[in-house]
Amino acid sequence: MMSDGGYESVDGLVVQLGDDGVLRIVLDRPEKRNALDDAMVAAMIAAVEHAGTDEAVRVILVTGRGDHFCGGFDIVGRNANAGGTRPRVGSIQRRLPAQAHRLIPLLVSVQTPVVCAVRGWAAGIGLHLVLASDITIAASDATFWEPFAERGFTPDSGGTWLLPRRVGETRARAMLLLGKAVHGTEAAEWRLIHEAVPVADLDAAVDAAVDKLATGPTVALGLTKWLLHASASASLDDHLRDEAFAMELSSRSEDFREGLTAFKEKRPPRFSGR
């Protein structure tokens, strides 16, 4: 079905754009710990791509319904749907670039802030959604886990790229090779996530972060996110040119003028997102 703003919801994924500029993406398979399937991934890709050019969207919020954020990808369900037919050799290599390996770079690079709210389990690609987001707030008893070694196969969806950059190689190896599960408070200490709060405080903490971003200088925030991502593969000279380019664009925004006016008038700015 189509939700407001032209965003499509599918079975297992609810996508809705609010009047507050927040695009809410809700993983909605609580009976499966919100494990992703192919249709959900495709709908997420479409939503994030659309949000990147939709001026009505100022922040993307990804949450899970029920007790868990995302238990990973539903491999069992995919195999069952295949009816026991063995796929041709290379099927994973052909499929991933159009699915999970398209979604993760989109979340990282879209010039719209992405917030994840996590309770319960975030495993496999569920953890990688967290790592690809800009801000993650989790319940203090949430669990972050890389299941690959225990299942006998290798990580995908950017886990071996994202995780060491967030927590360092030693801790990444503990999670990826030894299967160490990391809980909310420890995950915040490791800087895997941005904040861990008591379960009862999670919704309020997430709402505060989302509101801060949704009422912020949208152009400047998007360009800052782009700069952070680009810096990972840029030389200093190239990156300084990118910063000059971003400064040129952001200084032409209405929010820049509002920020200066608010400073002169000694009041909080009222950013319009333009």
Positive/negative CA dihedral, 124, 129, 133, 137: negative
Q: Which domains does the chain have, with CATH numbers?
A: 2-214 (3.90.226.10), 218-265 (1.10.12)
Q: What is the pLDDT of residue 6?
A: 84
Partners of 64 in beta bridges: 27
pLDDT tens figures, 55-112: 999 999 999 999 999 999 987 665 555 556 777 766 777 777 678 889 999 999 999 9
Q: Which tens digit of pLDDT belongs to each residue from 198-232?
A: 999 999 999 999 999 999 999 999 999 999 999 98
Is the pLDDT assigned to residue 2 strictly greater than 50?
A: no
In this prediction, residues 145-162 reach a mean pLDDT of 92
> 8-30: per-residue pLDDT in tens?
999 999 999 999 999 999 999 99
Dihedral pair phi/psi, residue 216, rounded to 5°: -90, -175
Any residues with CB less than 8 A from the CB of 191 and at least 6 apart, and which? Answer: 166, 167
To the nearest 10 degrees (0 to 180), the angle between helices 125-132 and 159-167 is 50
Q: What is the pLDDT of residue 95?
A: 74
Q: Provide the pLDDT for residue 79.
A: 55
pLDDT-above-90 percentage for the chain: 85
